[in-house]
Structure 1
Amino acid sequence: MSVEEKAGQVLMPVYAGTDAEAQAAAIERLHLAGSIIMGDNIPLDARGQADPAAMTAVNARLAKAAKADGRPWPGLIGVDQEGGIVTRLGAPLTEWPTALSYGAAGSAPLAKDAGRALAAEIASLGFTVDFAPDADVTIGPADPTIGARSMSGNPDAAGTLAVAFSQGMQEAGVLPAVKHFPGHGSVTVDSHQDLPVQPAGIAELEARDWKPFRAAIAVGMPMVMTGHIAVPALQPGVPASLSGPTYAALRGMGFKGVAVTDALNMGAVQQQYPGGSAATAALAAGADLLLMPTDVGEAHTAIVSAVAAGTLPAARLDEAAVRVATMMTWRGRATSPPAGSAPAGAAPGSGADTSARVSAAAVTVLSGHCDAPIVEGSIRIAGGSAQDRARFEAAAAKAGLGTGAGPLVSLIGYAGRPVGGDIAVALDAPWPLQDSTAPVKIALYGRTPGAFDALVAVLAGKATAPGKLPAAVGSYPAGTGCP
């Protein structure tokens, strides 16, 4: 490969709008690894829902562009599809609850089933990479960015569940990217806006934030994403994604796969590294795949120029390009269907039953009855969004529970405040329950139709609430729940 081809092989850009032709042309011209698909790239049908056929066509066009220069490995067609709030592809694809649901359910086999079901649907649309799961260990309400995107506040549980989810994804033919090393769940600033600083020393990081990554590396996960977090114990003032000592720490754990940066167009990086400088700095530090540079042409030129000037060793670019190509070659071999058979994948929406099982296993009662109906006959509903209330009413109607009278169920949506009423239900992170005055407190960790079915079943006494708090909520310790 030429230097220009290698420089393209380590870049994975974003584009604007639903017309992918300009992106396909850029992939061909600059020999790019592929493309990430964001929310505004997703074609919609007449109802405003994702159009699976049109999305498949877009991805096929981008994949074709990635192979236009004759490379034998498939392109990277990626998406952020974690479930919960970070979901690019909505209906008719399956809607998934938050990742914290897996910690509440406490079942690695269930997490693996979910990873497989989620990935199978996006694989059928032509995606080869999903930038999930989130292996960050949340510290609770002081964590403004990750929150319910974390699987648990317990490092060991977070590692076990992230590994299981990732293995399910791989079984469906999609490459996971375990994120965000060196740990984004224990910093108090959002890296989309500014540069968070992780004050913990190495011993504390090893005991908490790094445990899930060690677990993922131990079983051979192919990709780890680095976050835009400054760790003074490693390199003061420099985002981990652009820090040599951070990549050295990651490799020191035995990681031999692809190290991918978080999006290079985020505030934490752009303020310090304008133009193409972020791409060359990350590559020089040890990154292998550079995600979403602000201007991919500028980044490509900067890499080629840096190699020519000797400021970026040619061997470092070679190493990065080889890692990316190797990963994609391996994925292509591992997921190729037998000759004459249809490609692997699953119909949009086919994971709905698995999603519902996750929520039914996760619903957690912090205070209230565990062995009798919490409500009888009818309920009143407040809070949440209009869609939340409509879904709750639909679930209640299916279960024979009336609405408009009776105990007041107050829903707390994403980043919501504490509430009163008779029953407080947190639909995302459970932290607002700690100051809610309702005598009954329930953590649901999701707002899918299946999650509301699980909530109604518990309220009506038709099902138990098996979930346990995956992280402390005020005076309620981790592990709180019905016996």
Structure 2
Amino acid sequence: MTPEQKAGQVLMPFFAGTDAAAHAATIERLHLAGSIIMGDNVPVDARKQVDPAAMAATTARLAQAARADGRTWPGLIGVDQEGGMVARLGSPLTEWPAPMTYGAAGNTALTKDAGRAMASELAPLGFNVDFAPDTDVTIGPADPTIGARSMSGYPDAAGALGVAFSQGMQESGVLPAVKHFPGHGSVTVDSHQDLPVQPASIADLEARDWKPFRAAIGAGVPMVMTGHIAVPALEPGVPASLSAPTYAALRGMGFNGVAVTDALNMAAVQKRYPDGSAAVAALAAGADLLLMPTDVAQAHAAIVGAVAGGSLPAARLDEAAQRVATMMIWRGRTAAPPGSAPGAGADISARVSAAAVTVLSGPCSGPLVPGSVRVAGGSPQDRARFEAAAARAGLAVGEGPVVSLIGYGGAPAGGDIAVSLDAPWPLQDSAAPVKVALYGRSPGAFDALAAVLAGKATAPGKLPAAVGSFPAGTGCP
């Protein structure tokens, strides 16, 4: 490969809008590895739902562009599809609850089924990479970024569940990427806004944040994403994604796969590394795949120029390009199952929520409400879904106890029953005597809630992280 081809092979850009043809031309011109699909790239139909045929056509055009210079391996076509608040592809694809659901359910087999089912709907649309699962260990309400994206506040559980989800994804032909090394669940600043600092010692990181990554590496995960987090114990003031000691620590765990950066257009990096310098710095530090540089042409030119000028060793670019190519050659040789139709995972999604619903305070058996309830809070869609689920469970809506729904980032609630639909932290200060954590707002999640309220099902979930005075593990016996 020429230096220009190698530089392209380590870049995975984004684009604006739904003009795949223009983006394909950029991929061909710069020999790029492929592309990530963000929310504004998803074609929709007249009902504002994902158009599966048009989505597949878009990814096929981009994949074709990635092979235009004669390379024999597939291009990387990626997406962020975790479930919960991070899901670029909506209906008619299955809607999944937040990843914390898996920690509350505590069932690795069910988690693997979910990973397999999610990826089985992505693969027929042309995706071969999903930047999931999130294996960060959350510390609770002080964690402003990850929250319910974390599977658990227990390091061992986060590792086991992350491995199970990753293995399920790979069985459906989609490459997972565990994230965000060296751990984003225990810092108190959002790296989308600024650079968080992780003050923990290496010993503390080993005991908590690094455990899930060690488990994933031991299981052979193909990709690890590095986060934009400064760790003074490794290299003060430098985002881990651009820090050589961070990549040395990752490789020291036995990881031989592709190290991919978090999006390089995030504020934690963009404020400090202008004009393509982030791409060169990350590559020089040890990254193999550079995700979403602010200006991909500028980043490409900076890499080529740095190699030509001697400030970036040619061998480092060779190593990175070879790792990416090797992963995709392996993926191209691995037969994938035929895939599933959009929405095929709805039953598994509902089963996950039914296994996770958690009662923090209130009765553990029998109906929690009489035959009728009122609903407050949440979004209009949340309330409509609750009412539909209540009707399916035989509950009327209009009078009786107040069920207060707390959405993403919502405030503590009053009423008679407070229900968190994302991270359960607001329940700690909610005045309602009955507190329920649901970890999702999909139709299946609301069905699980309604069944518990009506006394037709128990709440088997356990808190995967502490919520105020409610310790991790709280739930019905």
Which TM class, normalised by the smaller chain length? over 0.9
Distance 1:50 1:335 in 2: 27
CA offsets, 1:13-50, max 9 Å, x none?
A: 00000111111001111100000000000001000111
Counterparts of 1:47-446 in structure 2, within 5 Å, are 47-335=47-335, 344-446=338-440
Query: Aligned residue for 2:466?
Result: 472
Distance 2:357 2:407 in 1: 15
CA contact (8 A) 2:143 2:185 kept: yes
Q: CA deviation at 1:335?
A: 2.7
Distance 1:157 1:322 in 2: 33
Query: Aligned residue for 1:14?
Result: 14
Q: CA deviation at 1:179?
A: 0.2
Of the candidates 425, 435, 446, which is equivalent to residue 452 of structure 1? 446
Amino acid at match of 1:211: K
Amino acid at match of 1:233: A
Distance 1:348 1:327 in 2: 27
CA contact (8 A) 2:150 2:185 kept: yes
SS at match of 1:382: strand
SS at match of 2:125: coil
Distance 1:122 1:248 in 2: 33
Distance 2:399 2:392 in 1: 17
Amino acid at match of 2:354: A
SS at match of 2:221: coil
Amino acid at match of 2:274: P
Q: CA deviation at 1:66?
A: 0.6
Distance 1:259 1:62 in 2: 22
Distance 1:404 1:336, change over 3 A: closer
Distance 1:454 1:138 in 2: 25
Amino acid at match of 1:378: S
Structure 1 range deviating more: 30-39 or 326-335: 326-335
SS at match of 1:36: strand
Distance 2:410 2:335 in 1: 42
Q: What is the root-mean-square deviation of aligned Cα atoms in Å? A: 0.6
Query: Aligned residue for 1:39?
Result: 39
Amino acid at match of 2:352: V
Distance 2:447 2:33 in 1: 42
Distance 2:432 2:335 in 1: 50
Amino acid at match of 1:165: F
SS at match of 1:25: helix
SS at match of 1:379: strand
Q: CA deviation at 1:400?
A: 1.4
CA contact (8 A) 2:172 2:336 kept: no
CA contact (8 A) 2:463 2:473 kept: yes
Distance 1:394 1:275 in 2: 51
Q: Which runs of 4+ in 1 moved over 3 A?
A: none
Q: CA deviation at 1:376?
A: 1.6
Amino acid at match of 1:52: P
Amino acid at match of 1:51: D
Q: CA deviation at 1:336?
A: 5.1
Q: 5+ unaligned residues in a row in structure 2: which ranges?
A: none
Amino acid at match of 2:117: A
CA offsets, 1:108-150, max 9 Å, x none?
A: 0011000000001010100010000000000000000000000
Amino acid at match of 2:33: A
Q: CA deviation at 1:272?
A: 0.6
Distance 2:51 2:274 in 1: 36
Distance 1:357 1:444 in 2: 13
CA contact (8 A) 2:171 2:336 kept: no
SS at match of 1:124: helix
Distance 1:270 1:432 in 2: 32
What is the identity percentage for the equivalent residue pairs of Structure 1 and Structure 2?
81
Amino acid at match of 1:354: I
SS at match of 1:357: helix
Query: Aligned residue for 1:340?
Result: none
CA offsets, 1:349-374, max 9 Å, x none?
A: 00000000000000000011111111
SS at match of 2:237: strand
Distance 1:175 1:140 in 2: 29
Amino acid at match of 1:136: D
CA contact (8 A) 2:179 2:224 kept: yes
CA contact (8 A) 2:38 2:80 kept: yes
Amino acid at match of 1:13: P
CA offsets, 1:415-474, max 9 Å, x none?
A: 111111100000000000001111100000000000000000000100000000000000
Distance 1:160 1:63 in 2: 33
Q: CA deviation at 1:210?
A: 0.2
CA offsets, 1:185-243, max 9 Å, x none?
A: 00000000100000000000000000000000001100000000000000000000000
Distance 1:134 1:100 in 2: 10
CA offsets, 1:84-118, max 9 Å, x none?
A: 00000000000000000000000000110000000
SS at match of 2:383: helix
Amino acid at match of 1:473: V
Amino acid at match of 2:353: S
